[in-house]
Chain A
């Protein structure tokens, strides 16, 4: 778990995870396109993320694809967030998203920036 927190402590590495969150399964080249970092720096960060198991790698032919692996974060979540809190936190997180997007919409449109909170269903 130390490796996970250490890996997450760096903003560039969190940015890399954000990129994979947007589009899972990217090559090194694709990741470099969206980031203001040298290829060497991205490679170095990816190695640390892989060591922490936050990034998993799969090969498709000769392409090395990088995936955001949610398992270590899920373990942190299981450890510190109880199963009863989960639903309340989901409701709060939905409310925050709803209000923030309503606020953004209100900036563009004068009226009617109403947003519905979405209920997410787990399968």
Chain B
């Protein structure tokens, strides 16, 4: 089946354990992921969602595979933009590999659909979020424009 897929690779000077925490724990995600948190029991089959300020669930799904500090696969659907929600579930994979003093983070976001609006939308967001994550882990400071939920852009 033809699918839409994006692949991002970034090298971050940190440890896989710290990167894992940054990707999953609220105190970190709030700083680089537009003030959102992710809630899940973080085990296979557990439900998963992203919450923006005001308890708005923006995306939700399920944990498909989890191997702390190494690999996480999520079933992922947008919940607050009807045209994106209509496309159904996508699949997100994080892979963390230690390379010298850095961690190679590979992010793959894919959907079984060609010309996906959802994949197009996230492809605008991922580079910002990942650059900010890298900045947070390497310098202690995330990028300013990724600290707040963009109210005017996404209602």
Q: Is the CB of A58 within 8 A of B8?
A: no
Alpha-carbon gap, A122 to B6, bound state (A) = 17
Interface size class of B (residues with CB under 8 A): 20 to 34
A83 and B144 form a contact (CB under 8 A): yes
- B53 within 8 Å of A by Cβ? no
CA distance A25 to B154 in the complex (A): 29
Of residues 22 through 59 on chain A, the ones whose CB sits less than 8 Å from some CB of chain B are 24-25, 53, 56-58
Q: Which of B6, B121, B122 contacts A67 (CB 8 A)?
A: B6
Query: Residue on A with the closest CB to B106?
Result: A56
- With A78-B143, A83-B144 as known contacts, state yes or no: A70 contacts B106, CB within 8 Å: no
Give the contacting residue for A56; candidates B8, B121, B150, B154; CB below 8 A.
Answer: B8
**B residues engaging A (CB < 8 A)?**
5-11, 106, 108, 121-122, 124-125, 127-128, 130-131, 134-135, 143-145, 150, 153-154
Give the interface of A toward B (CB within 8 A): 24-25, 53, 56-58, 65, 67, 69-71, 74-75, 78, 83, 120-123
